[in-house]
Amino acid sequence: MKHFDAVVIGAGPGGYEAAIQLGKAGVKTLLIDKSKERIGGTCLNEGCISTKNYLESAGYASKAPYFQECGLDMSINGFDLARLREKTVSLKNELRSGVVWQLDGAKVEMMYGFASFVDAHTLDVSGETISFDKCIIATGAKVREVSALPLDGKRIVSSSDLFELETLPKSIAIVGGGAIGCEFATFFSAFGVEVTLIARGTQLLSAEDEDVAKALLRAFKKNGIKVMTSSAVKKVEITEQGVELDVSGEIEEKIKCELVLCAIGRDPNTEDISIDNAGVQRDAKGFITVNDAFQTVQKHIYAIGDCIDTPAYAHTAYAEAKIAAVNIINGSETVNTHITPSTIFTNPQIASCGLREKEAKEQGIAIEVKKAFFKANAKAKINGDDSGFVKMIVSPQNDIILGASIIGVEATEVIHEMVIAVEKKLTASELTSMIHVHPSVSEIIRYL
Ligand SMILES: Cc1cc2nc3c(=O)[nH]c(=O)nc-3n(C[C@H](O)[C@H](O)[C@H](O)COP(=O)(O)OP(=O)(O)OC[C@H]3O[C@@H](n4cnc5c(N)ncnc54)[C@H](O)[C@@H]3O)c2cc1C
């Protein structure tokens, strides 16, 4: 039986980052995933990288009318989805080799197979037994499935299945008004696909600021996306031409489309790994329960990333991986003191961090709201989109910045300044008086 100081299950952003940190510190580390192609996890294979590469092309398509305005006599003579798919596969391969290079450099051993616990110090990996002193579970999450929308990979598909498409559908119904649903609505509508977005909640992106969600709704409607909020699919029928959905909510309607994307959420991958054998616990939703130092009830077993109940982002997984690795290396119980920015790569982009206005109201926290609009920002105009705004939440007692929400061009970049401000407890006057480059999108912060 092979023995390791540390074993990491899952080679997504959480798992590979933790393994690299451990390996670099001289810890004899094994990283396990189902296959070599899974290195990079959801993020690389069917999440962040694939979606953002697809959305980049969508962004070019959406900008075509603006290029004309700028004197560029360009026309789009079609869109070859199969080619974009190929380009995405080669990008993924390139990035995966970068991760493998880092793992090799850190002398991390790799093993391919399905890992499950035999006991609190032993794993079965597709028939081979491995023992360990410490373990990090980083098994991520999987597409949520519901019987009302049975996935068949052809007419009713998951976000992962979409990356297998070689041609665009004429129409798509997207069920789910979260980040994944909204990003795919952006992608398909940019290429003229008829998009219907069906959301259960009263607003899109239920966790985000209400004004931001309203602005996104306006932008979606302007781009021809049909949005049905407070709505649910009651019946699904596969026909020769596509799918018919009975949708009920504010209005009852039959939606006919070629394809349905089911984007109703993701569930942690914790069911099949026999964690009971290790004495590790899960909560009612299936998330592994951990303390602030990412230790499970078995203190030598840690869990990070999408398999625990923290924001499901690759950047969260990276941060948690570093902390769990440090705790293993130093025998410490360091906790995560960082705030997690939320980002949605719609058109326009959305990002937020810290306290949101509605949370402050719900929690009875006194706040001052400062708002600035991209209409007054020269660089946003130069970029061809001056829609949107930045909303900053400030404490009226001491001017300290508590949070921010942004919708607009480059929101997913501008948010970093706000992350620093919230994390380092800067005051609004400290942040706004900083010299910002002119013209830049970020100088919108100067107007707050
Ligand atoms: C469509 C989509 C778009 C997204 N866009 C973004 C984005 O723009 N930005 C962002 O930050 N996040 C994004 N995310 C979320 C991001 O992908 C995840 O938060 C991130 O991948 C979580 O990392 P992880 O390491 O916890 O798990 P994962 O990346 O899911 O990796 C888990 C790995 O564990 C392996 N595994 C599972 N069980 C076992 C087992 N028993 N044995 C061996 N191996 C196992 C899996 O094969 C997998 O490779 C997106 C997700 C989706 C689905």
Element (H, E) at 172: strand 171-175
Domain spans in the chain, listed from the N-terminal domain onward:
2-142+267-330, 156-264, 348-447
User: Do the Cβ atoms of 237 and 260 come closer than 8 Å?
Assistant: no
Res. 256 pLDDT band, cuts 50 70 90: very high
Instruction: Give pLDDT, residue 250.
Output: 79
pLDDT of residue 77 exceeding 90, the answer is no
pLDDT of residue 270: 97
**pLDDT bucket at 73, cuts 50 / 70 / 90:** confident
Q: What is the pLDDT of residue 378?
A: 98
Q: Which residues contact 105 (CB under 8 A, 6 or more apart)?
A: none
CATH number at 156-264: 3.50.50.60
Q: Would you call 144 exposed, middle or buried from its count of C-beta atoms within 10 A (0-12, 13-18, 19+)?
A: middle
Q: Quickly state the pLDDT bin for 399 (edges 50, 70, 90).
A: very high
Average pLDDT over residues 410-419: 98
Each residue of 158-199: pLDDT tens digit? 999 999 999 999 999 999 999 999 999 999 999 999 999 999
Q: Identify the residue whose C-alpha is closest to ligand 1 atom 43.
A: 33
Q: What is the pLDDT of residue 435?
A: 97
Q: Which CATH fold topology does 348-447 show?
A: Enolase-like; domain 1 (3.30.390)
Position 52 pLDDT exceeds 90 = yes
> Average pLDDT of 331-346?
96
Task: Give the pLDDT band (50/70/90) at residue 71.
Answer: very high
What is the CATH code of the structural domain delimited by 2-142+267-330? 3.50.50.60
pLDDT for 76 equals 82
| Strand order from edge to edge, sheet including 194-198 | 156-157, 259-262, 171-175, 194-198, 226-228
Percent of all residues in the chain with a pLDDT value above 90, rounded to a whole number: 96
What is the rounded average pLDDT of the residues 190-212? 97
Residues lining ligand 1, Cβ inside 6 A: 9-15, 32-34, 38, 41-43, 47-48, 51-52, 114-115, 138-141, 159, 180, 269, 273, 305-306, 312-315, 317, 345
- Catalytic annotation on 438? yes
pLDDT the model gives residue 159: 97
Q: What is the DSSP letter of 269?
A: S
Query: For the segment 267-290, what is each residue's pLDDT rounded down to a tens digit?
Result: 999 999 999 999 999 999 999 999
pLDDT of residue 131: 98
- DSSP class of 191: T
Share of the chain above pLDDT 70, in %: 100
Mutate which of 95, 139, 302 for ligand 1 pocket (most atoms within 8 A of beta carbon): 139
Residue 296 is encoded by which pair of tokens? 């499970």
Index of the ligand 1 atom closest to the CA of residue 273: 41
Contacts of 186-190 spanning 24+ positions with Cβ under 8 A: 186/55, 186/58, 186/223, 186/345, 186/346, 186/347, 187/51, 187/54, 187/55, 187/58, 189/220, 189/223, 189/224, 189/225, 190/58, 190/59, 190/61, 190/62, 190/223, 190/347
CA distance between the termini of the chain: 62
How many C-beta atoms lie closer than 10 Å to residue 256's C-beta? 15
Q: Do domains 2-142+267-330 and 156-264 have the same CATH topology?
A: yes
Cα separation, 66 vs 72, whole angstroms:
9
Indicate the pLDDT class of residue 74, thresholds 50, 70 and 90.
confident
Write down the mean pLDDT value for the chain.
Answer: 97
How many angstroms separate the alpha carbon of residue 48 from the centre of ligand 1?
9
Q: Which two tokens stand for residue 258?
A: 């070629």
pLDDT level of residue 421 (50, 70, 90 thresholds):
very high
Q: Each residue of 18-48: pLDDT tens digit? A: 999 999 999 999 999 999 999 999 999 999 9
- Kindly report, residue by residue over 115-159, the tens digit of the pLDDT: 999 999 999 999 999 999 999 999 999 999 999 899 999 999 999
Q: Is the pLDDT of residue 251 over 90?
A: no
Region 103-126: mean pLDDT is: 98
Nearest CA to ligand 1 atom 27: 140
Q: Which of 137, 64, 85 is nearest to 305 (CA)?
A: 137
